[in-house]
């Protein structure tokens, strides 16, 4: 009985996140191509995707490394992009916090935008699910998405090794980021954060070690949080 | 050329750091609620950091030694517009790259 319900929760997770396969494959391939164009070997590129498993942070690190930013700045900026993972972790905790430590550790590694978004939506609409069903569902959402990230990174890396370096791909990262950010501009707070960060980044461009990016990003976050707080107060 | 020591420091550091962020709450905090102000700031990390990376890269691209470049700025505007209207990430990327290459060919 319990076995069947866990299995069906797992399958439901697979079904619900399957549409993301269409997004993940080309995105992973783009990372593979750009990383090898930046001079990484196929092995280094694939290791990057397996160890880090976070698209936007990987693109950030790649972009800043090609700009020859210092290691600490590369790490700080890429981790700042990944700060949202801490938010995902916090909001998943009431649902899967009761699972065993090793299950939570594996779930943590696989906490990505898609698995989080699909799972949290399900948990909120189906509160009757048991903690075990919730974790089974979570691993279901991971199954179509995360292995594709590794496989298509590899495909992209192999393709990228064949593309001559003269092919102007320097602008693919900014374009990718624009395409990610634009649909995320859902509220005034998100728009305010993005515009503030962009302007601050231009103003702070001459700050050494690319630290302007980090400062501008923090400024954007503060403005976003402030607008949200004001909107909430206005609604009350 | 990316320095090998830097590359491996970034891969390992980013791997450990990302796992720590992902494990921070499910693993260690348990069921406790986070302060509202903290959640509020975390919500805007992506729309904060990414535009900070994009803006100078669009207006002052390293590939043109920082000179304003019409194909790149146009490609950025097309991508942004497609993303805002269509909300399709892969489609917007393709639209932007097509614009970039089309204008580079036309203007050369």
Shared-domain flag, residues A13 and A119 = yes
Q: Please determine, for residue B58, whether its predicted confidence score (pLDDT) is greater than 60.
A: yes
Q: Within this chain, do residues A219 and A142 fall inside the same structural domain, yes or no? A: no
Interface mutation target, options B36, B48, B96, chain A, most CBs of A under 10 Å: B48
Asked if residue A205 lies in contact with residue B56, where contact means CB atoms within 8 angstroms, the answer is yes
Minimum mean pLDDT range among A21-30, A38-47, A141-150: A21-30
Task: Assess whether A213 and A123 both reside in one domain.
Answer: no
What pLDDT is attached to residue A44?
A: 97
A61 with A158, same domain? yes
Task: Determine the pLDDT at residue A138.
Answer: 97
Say if A13 falls within a structural domain.
yes
What's the CA gap between A180 and B79, in Å, rounded? 10
Average pLDDT over residues A125-142: 93
Mean pLDDT for the stretch of residues A46-64: 94
Question: Are residue A22 and residue A52 in the same domain, yes or no?
Answer: yes
How high is the pLDDT of residue A76? 93
Cα distances from A235 to residues A144, A191, A228, B40, B44, in angstroms, run: 40, 19, 10, 16, 20
Q: Which residues in chain A are closer than 8 Å to B12, comparing Cβ atoms? A: 51
Asked if pLDDT for residue B31 goes beyond 70, the answer is no
Same domain for A147 and A43, yes or no, is yes
Picking from B17, B25, B20, B23, the residue whose alpha carbon sits closest to that of residue A108 is B23
Nearest-angstrom CA–CA distance, B90 and B75: 14
Judge whether A179 lies within some domain.
no
Q: Do B79 and A23 touch (CB under 8 A)?
A: no
A134-143, B15-24, B84-93: which has the minimum mean pLDDT? B84-93
B12 in contact with chain A, both atoms CB, cutoff 8 A: yes
CA of residue B57 relative to chain centroid, distance: 11
Cβ <8 Å between B92 and A178: yes
Task: Tell if the CB–CB gap between B76 and A71 is shorter than 8 Å.
Answer: no
> What share of chain A has pLDDT > 70, as a percent?
95
Q: At what angle do helices A21-37 and A131-162 cross, to 10 degrees?
A: 40
Query: What confidence tier does A65 reach under pLDDT thresholds 50, 70, 90?
Result: very high
Residues A149 and A189 in one domain: no
Judge whether A174 and B27 are in contact, CB under 8 Å: no
pLDDT the model gives residue A236: 62
Query: Does B83 touch chain A if contact means CB atoms closer than 8 Å?
Result: yes
The pLDDT assigned to A161 comes to 85
Whether B54 and chain A come into contact, CB under 8 Å, resolves to: yes
Closest approach of chain A CAs to the CA of B39, in angstroms? 6
Domain that holds residue A24: 2-168
What's the CA gap between A155 and A134, in Å, rounded?
32
Q: Which residues of B touch A100 (CB under 8 A)?
A: none
Mean pLDDT, range A159-175, rounded to an integer:
76
**Can you give the pLDDT at residue A166?**
53
Instruction: For CA atoms A76, A81, A86, A89, give the dihedral sign.
Output: negative
Q: What DSSP state is assigned to residue A225?
A: H
Residue A1 has pLDDT above 50, yes or no: no
| Mean pLDDT, rounded, of chain B | 89
At residue A167, does pLDDT exceed 70? no
pLDDT at B24: 84
Instruction: Check CB contact of B48 with chain A, cutoff 8 Å.
Output: yes
Cβ contact, residue pair A86, B24, below 8 Å: yes
Residue A10, domain member (yes or no) = yes
Q: Considering only CB atoms, which chain A residues are within 8 Å of B77? A: none
What DSSP assignment string belongs to B3-30? -HHHHHHHHHHHHHHHHHHHHIIIIIIT
A213 found inside a domain: yes
Per-residue pLDDT, averaged over B75-99, amounts to: 93
Indicate whether A80 belongs to any domain.
yes
Q: What is the mean pLDDT of chain A?
A: 90
pLDDT band at A184 (very low <50, low <70, confident <90, very high): confident
- Nearest CA to B89 among A181, A155, A188, A81? A181
Mean pLDDT of B100-106: 91
* Distance, CA of B76 to chain centre: 13
Residue numbers in A near B78 (CB within 8 A): none
Whether A200 has a pLDDT exceeding 90, the answer reads yes
Strand ranges, E, within chain A? none
| A183 phi, psi to nearest 5 deg | -70, -15
State the pLDDT at residue B32: 65
Chain B residue with minimum CA distance to A220: B48
Domain total of chain A: 2
Q: Is residue A59 part of a domain?
A: yes
Under 8 Å between Cβ of A165 and A37: yes
- Do residue A219 and residue A116 come from a single domain? no
Which chain B residues have a beta carbon less than 8 Å from that of A178?
54, 76, 79-80, 83, 92, 96
| Co-location of A136 and A81 in the same domain | yes
């Amino acid at each position: 009985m319990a076995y069947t319900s866990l299995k069906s929760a797992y399958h439901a997770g697979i079904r619900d996140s399957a549409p993301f396969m269409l997004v993940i494959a080309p995105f992973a391939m783009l990372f593979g191509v750009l990383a090898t164009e930046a001079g990484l070997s196929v092995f280094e590129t694939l290791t990057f995707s397996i160890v880090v498993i976070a698209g936007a942070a990987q693109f950030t690190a790649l972009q800043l490394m090609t700009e020859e930013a210092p290691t600490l700045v590369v790490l700080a900026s890429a981790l700042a992009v990944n700060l949202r993972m801490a938010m995902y972790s916090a909001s998943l905790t009431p649902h899967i916090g009761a699972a065993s430590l090793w299950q939570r550790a594996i779930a943590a590694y696989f906490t990505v935008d898609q698995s989080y978004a699909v799972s949290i939506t399900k948990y909120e609409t189906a509160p009757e699910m048991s903690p075990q069903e919730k974790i089974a569902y979570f691993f279901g959402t991971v199954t179509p998405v995360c292995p594709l990230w590794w496989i298509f990174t590899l495909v992209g890396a192999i393709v990228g090794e064949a593309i001559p370096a003269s092919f102007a791909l320097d602008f693919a990262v900014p374009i990718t980021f624009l395409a990610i950010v634009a649909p995320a501009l859902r509220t005034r707070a998100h728009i305010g954060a993005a515009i503030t960060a962009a302007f601050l980044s231009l103003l702070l461009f001459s700050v050494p070690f690319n630290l302007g990016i980090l400062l501008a990003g923090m400024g954007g976050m503060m403005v976003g949080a402030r607008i949200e707080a004001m909107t909430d107060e206005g609604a009350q | 050329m990316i320095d090998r020591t830097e590359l491996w420091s970034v891969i390992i550091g980013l791997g450990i750091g990302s796992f720590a962020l992902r494990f921070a709450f499910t693993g260690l905090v348990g069921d406790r609620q986070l302060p509202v102000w903290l959640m509020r700031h975390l919500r805007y990390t992506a729309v904060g950091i990414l535009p900070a990376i994009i803006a100078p890269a669009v207006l002052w691209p390293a590939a043109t030694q920082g000179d304003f470049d019409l194909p790149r700025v146009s490609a950025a505007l097309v991508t942004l517009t497609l993303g805002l209207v269509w909300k399709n990430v892969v489609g917007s990327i393709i639209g932007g790259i097509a614009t970039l290459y089309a204008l580079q060919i036309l203007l050369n």
